[in-house]
Structure 1
Amino acid sequence: MNRSGGDLTVGPRWGGAALLRAGVLAFAGSIGVTDAHAHHAVQIIAATTAFTVLDEHGARLRGTTVVVPADAPHRVEVGAEEGTVVFLDPESAPGRSAHLRAVRSGWTVTPVPSFTRRRALAIAVDELIAHLAPATAGDGVAPRHSAIDDALRLLPDLVAAGPVSGTELAARVGISASRLTHVFTEQVGIPLRRYVLWSRLQVAITRVQAGDDLTGAAHGAGFADSAHLTRTTREMFGLPPSVLSRHVSWDLDGTG
């Protein structure tokens, strides 16, 4: 990707298909411009044609691949007609890997698998995660602890009911809170508290897709109000819930 100056034209609007699973939000379609912002998720952008990202130092990065580290100010100045954007929780194994590669090697030289419209988004995401954190995707992984299976079964109802207490969840599945915290992160690939946050986002998007307004979706997902939901999505992804729901066709189990 080359650095360049000069006037640049605005590209297409955001629109396409997306999937959401714990620790991963992935989007495939047309990539639009954004205002200057920073978000907590690590962002990987890959497109079939060149796009332009303005980094926190004012340098224009133009090319077909960029990895934005967690919490790094930037903006998409020129979009692309076809591409893929993947947001990874920086506390997950693949998110940590992508963040460290970008910090150590630069935003534009971090290798990522290519994405094309001919490949299913879920498959591309699986390959990306295996590429970034192969130990989490390999065969021969030890069987999951029964307490983790129990926790995963309980969490949807707990998330819908309101705040989730790790101590109470641990008691319900029969292990200590510290043990649950350790094993959950190890076997699910993301800390429990982050898993709960992503679960709330999934519930909120599901409710918006079903016709709820943002206030109803926020309350149904356990957020304090629509402002809390909006603040969370902006902090995580740099986009408001309205953009994430209105122009995108969602796969909310991450398998399509």
Structure 2
Amino acid sequence: MAGYRERPARLAGAVLWARTGVAAHEPPVLPDGCMDLIWSAGGLVVAGPDTVAHHPELGGAEFAGFRFAPGTAPAVLGVPAAEVRDRRVELAALWPAKTVRALADEVGAAPDRAAALEAVVLRRAAGRPAPDPALGRVVAALDAGHPVRYVAEHAGWTARTLHRRSLAAFGYGPKTLARVLRLQRGLARARAGVPLAESAAGAGYADQAHFTREVRELTGLTPGALLRGPR
């Protein structure tokens, strides 16, 4: 039987997750502004930020993942987010292959593979500059529904600088990031049992039709279909 579980990681805002077994139906991975480092028997893979739903082709029986908070993975992994947007890239294409093989073996031999993957990330993070805290403030402001112009001004950047920094950190511009964050806000409310019309209004959509249209464009499904399917 397939199972999925997650828990907070020790890196701020990050999540550890593990998946075992093969489900009869794999739900799509929805855009969330995050990047993941994923272990499977095939090795280590970086999952870039998605602009639309990703439909995984999971051939293995066990996976462990480290999901970075938006904007934090590039500083650790050493790759601009835009370079891996909507892609799954072997870590060996970004780091020395010998190093990646040793790390994959280390994680694969551990009894708690998610914890071992976290240890790999923490060691790497300790030797690299921390992400710019301004990026976290950008995420918070966009998630609060502030317009892009306001966000740029309060970051002390021009709109062009905000766009450039966003591409490197999040994989897409601030307008797309705001759209993805709003999608997650609306779906979170709906999953908590809030009626769709109220979920739409609370997330910042003009109305329920606007919410439904955005969900279709970003996921290929209606809100109802997402809520009925496995999470």
TM-score where L is the length of structure 2: 0.51
2:178 maps to 1:196: yes
Matched, 1:15 2:8: no
Match of 2:64 among 84, 93, 96: 84
CA 1:35 to 1:203, structure 2 compared with 1: closer, same or farther past 3 Å? closer
> Against the structure 1 CA distance between its residues 129 and 140, is the aligned structure 2 distance closer, same or farther, given a 3 Å change threshold?
closer
Counterpart amino acid of residue 179 in structure 1: T
Aligned mate of 2:18, from 1, 25, 28: 28
Please give the alpha-carbon distance, in whole angstroms, between the structure 2 residues aligned to 1:214 and 1:45. 33
Amino acid at match of 2:39: A
> For residue 211 of structure 1, what is the aligned residue in structure 2?
193
CA distance in 1, matches of 2:17, 2:152: 34
The match for 1:46 is 39
In structure 2, the gaps of 5 or more residues are none
Post-superposition offset of 1:207? 1.9
Matched residue type, 1:75: E
Contact 2:64–2:117 at 8 Å: present in 1 too?
Answer: no
CA distance in 2, matches of 1:204, 1:19: 22
- Cross-structure match for 1:54: none
Q: For the residues of structure 2 that align with 1:142 and 1:68, how far apart are their CA atoms?
A: 18
Task: Look up the equivalent residue of 2:160 and give its one-letter code.
Answer: S
2:179 and 2:162 map into 1 onto residues whose CA distance is 17
- Residues 168-208 of structure 1: per-residue CA shift (max 9 Å, x gap): 4323544321123334556xx32534543453344245324
Aligned ranges for residues 1-256 of structure 1 at < 5 Å?
12-17=1-6, 27-33=17-23, 34=25, 45-47=38-40, 63=41, 65=43, 67=45, 75-77=57-59, 80=61, 83-85=63-65, 93=74, 94=77, 96=83, 99-101=88-90, 111=101, 113=104, 114=107, 118=112, 124-125=117-118, 127-128=120-121, 131=124, 138=127, 140-141=129-130, 144=133, 151-158=138-145, 165-184=147-166, 189-190=169-170, 191=172, 192-212=174-194, 216-222=198-204, 224-226=210-212, 228-229=214-215, 231-233=217-219, 240=226, 243=229, 245=231
Structure with a larger share of its residues in strand: 1
Distance 1:19 1:233, change over 3 A: farther
Is the 1:44–1:65 contact (alpha carbons within 8 Å) kept by the matching residues of 2?
A: no
Residue segments in structure 1 that go unaligned for 5+ positions in a row:
1-11, 48-62, 159-163, 246-256
Q: How many residue pairs are counted as aligned between the two chains? A: 198
Return the letter of the residue paired with 1:16.
Answer: R
SS in 2 for 1:75: coil
- CA–CA separation in structure 2 for the residues paired with 1:221 and 1:118: 37
**Is the Cα–Cα contact under 8 Å of residues 39 and 234 in structure 1 kept in the other structure?**
no
How far residue 222 of structure 1 moved from its aligned partner, in angstroms, is 4.0
Residue 36 (structure 1) shift:
11
Distance in structure 2 (CA, Å) of the matches to 1:19 and 1:229: 27
Q: Give TM-score, length-normalised by structure 1.
A: 0.47
Q: Secondary structure at the match of 1:212?
A: coil
Q: 1:35 to 1:182 in 2, by over 3 A?
A: closer
Aligned-residue RMSD, C-alpha: 5.4
Secondary structure in 2 aligned to 1:225? helix
1: distance between equivalents of 2:141 and 2:178? 11
C-alpha displacement of 1:42: 7.2
**Secondary structure of 2:58's match?**
strand
The structure carrying a bigger helix percent of its residues is 2
CA pair 167-42 structure 1, distance change in 2 beyond 3 A: closer
Query: In the TM superposition, what whole-angstrom CA distance separates every residue of 1:191-244 from its partner, at most 9, and x where no partner exists?
Result: 534543453344245324532356654553346324533552469xxx946556
Pick closer, same or farther for the CA change 1:184–1:76 going to 2, 3 Å. closer
Would you say the 8 A contact 1:230–1:240 is kept in 2? no
